[in-house]
């Protein structure tokens, strides 16, 4: 009995030391970006925006090429931690590219959850993959999740380097990563996302004004306070850019439902994910949310996609845009792709810079 107790004590001590060592290493190597960081363009274009032209703008959370129709996810009540395999990632990325480049390629492309070197997507650099072979695009990527080893769940996620990705055929004079408030404290923060805005400045021919293009992905699995704080900072930033005389388009995954969407897609599974809500009163006067309720933009990943299972298949409208008063909305569409290659559908709008 004494030998057993001694063995157990030694085992517990080893586990405590191992856990302490792991969290010590995670603390020492934690990704701690500055409040504002200039970003180098992966690629640059020279074409200028023209005054008064219509722009085709797309936002799409591509689910790191690992969350297509056959996928679920452990944080949503499912089981999967990473993509089924490199072939599955390639299949989903090919499907995403087929939409982006298979017809009329959008003028401005805002993608979220794009991995550069992650265990969950088998080390594939998705920024190169999702350029679609077009070497004429301006391209910029901003990390919002960077950790050399995410220790949860079991088996662990492992290495993750992922973030926001903006592409356009037009020139970008400056791109910045602007940090958003992080709602998580130590030790959870060491292996968690560090949300941000990816801000791109696009010059307009013959004008001192610029188009300020904001790519965003707000907090998902917090108590709600993080989403609110990040939304408030977003509002303050876009208003400050508008007051400089610029045009502003902000788009992405808000992880909050747009006004009226709960009436169309009621949240029947709040125990799995309690989604936040957006309200028009959050915006400065003259600004508007841009979204479409005719199709959902996101599904819950509690199970592989099964639209026939109306009890367990949960939809949301959490992807869309905010535009400044000097941007005229011509049309917007939630593009129903049946969640074939991502747990999100793209949202596409056409606007004119006044």
User: Based on the domain organization, do 11 and 131 belong to the same domain?
Assistant: no
Q: Rounded to an integer, what distance in angstroms lies between the CA atom of residue 188 and that of residue 288? A: 35
DSSP-derived pairing of the beta strands 54-61 and 347-353: antiparallel
User: Based on the domain organization, do 140 and 18 belong to the same domain?
Assistant: no
Residues 6+ apart with CB under 8 A from 271: none
User: Based on the domain organization, do 19 and 139 belong to the same domain?
Assistant: no
- 49 has a pLDDT exceeding 90: yes
Reported as a single tens digit per residue, the pLDDT across 237-296 is 999 999 999 999 999 999 999 999 999 999 999 999 989 999 999 999 999 999 999 999
Percent of the chain with pLDDT over 90: 86
User: Based on the domain organization, do 19 and 130 belong to the same domain?
Assistant: no
User: Based on the domain organization, do 6 and 137 belong to the same domain?
Assistant: no
User: Based on the domain organization, do 4 and 71 belong to the same domain?
Assistant: no
User: Based on the domain organization, do 113 and 20 belong to the same domain?
Assistant: no
Number of domains forming the structure of the chain: 2
Q: Rounded to an integer, what distance in angstroms lies between the CA atom of residue 339 and that of residue 182? A: 29
The whole-number pLDDT of residue 23 equals 66
Residue 194 burial by Cβ neighbours in a 10 Å radius (0-12, 13-18, 19+): buried
User: Based on the domain organization, do 39 and 13 belong to the same domain?
Assistant: no
The whole-number pLDDT of residue 125 equals 97
Domain with 267 in it: what CATH number?
3.60.10.10
**Domain with 1 in it:** 1-30
User: Based on the domain organization, do 49 and 13 belong to the same domain?
Assistant: no
Q: Rounded to an integer, what distance in angstroms lies between the CA atom of residue 161 and that of residue 125? A: 10
User: Based on the domain organization, do 181 and 165 belong to the same domain?
Assistant: yes
Residues 6+ apart with CB under 8 A from 48: 170, 171, 203, 204, 205
Choice among 35-44, 147-156, 259-268 with the minimum mean pLDDT: 147-156
- Identify whether the C-beta of residue 293 lies closer than 8 Å to the C-beta of residue 320: no
- Identify whether the C-beta of residue 78 lies closer than 8 Å to the C-beta of residue 303: yes
Question: Which of helix, strand or coil describes residue 37?
Answer: strand
Average pLDDT, the chain: 94
User: Based on the domain organization, do 18 and 167 belong to the same domain?
Assistant: no
Quickly state the pLDDT bin for 108 (edges 50, 70, 90).
very high
Q: Rounded to an integer, what distance in angstroms lies between the CA atom of residue 163 and that of residue 224? A: 21
User: Based on the domain organization, do 200 and 282 belong to the same domain?
Assistant: yes
């Amino acid at each position: 009995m004494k030998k057993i107790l001694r063995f157990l004590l030694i085992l517990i001590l080893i586990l405590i030391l191992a856990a302490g060592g792991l969290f010590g290493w995670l603390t020492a190597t934690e990704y701690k970006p500055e409040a504002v960081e200039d970003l180098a363009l992966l690629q640059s274009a020279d074409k200028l925006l023209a005054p008064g032209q219509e722009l085709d703008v797309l936002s799409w959370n591509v689910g790191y090429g690992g969350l297509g129709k056959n996928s679920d996810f452990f944080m949503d009540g499912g089981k999967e931690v990473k993509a089924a395999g490199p072939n599955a990632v390639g299949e989903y990325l090919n499907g995403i590219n087929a939409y982006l480049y298979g017809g009329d390629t959008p003028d401005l492309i805002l993608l979220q959850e794009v991995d550069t070197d992650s265990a969950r997507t088998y080390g594939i650099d998705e920024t190169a993959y999702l350029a679609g072979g077009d070497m004429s695009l301006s391209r910029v990527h901003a990390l919002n999740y960077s950790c050399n080893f995410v220790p949860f769940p079991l088996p662990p996620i492992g290495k993750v380097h992922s973030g926001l990705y903006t592409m356009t055929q037009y020139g970008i004079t400056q791109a910045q990563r602007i940090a958003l408030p992080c709602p998580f404290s130590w030790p959870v923060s060491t292996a968690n996302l560090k949300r941000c805005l990816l801000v791109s400045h696009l010059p307009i021919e013959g004008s001192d004004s610029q188009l300020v293009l904001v790519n965003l992905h707000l907090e998902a699995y917090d108590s709600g306070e993080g989403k609110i704080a990040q939304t408030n900072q977003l509002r303050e930033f876009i208003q400050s850019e508008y007051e400089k005389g610029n045009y502003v388009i902000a788009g992405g995954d808000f992880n909050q439902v747009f006004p009226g969407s709960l009436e169309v897609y009621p949240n029947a599974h709040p125990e799995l994910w309690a989604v936040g809500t957006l309200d028009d009163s959050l915006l400065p006067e003259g600004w508007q949310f841009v979204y479409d309720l005719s199709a959902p933009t996101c599904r819950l990943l509690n199970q592989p996609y099964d639209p026939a299972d109306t009890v367990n298949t949960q939809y949301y409208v959490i992807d869309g845009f905010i535009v400044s008063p000097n941007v005229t909305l011509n049309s917007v569409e939630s593009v129903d792709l049946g969640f074939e290659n991502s747990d999100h559908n793209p949202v596409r709008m056409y606007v004119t810079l006044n």
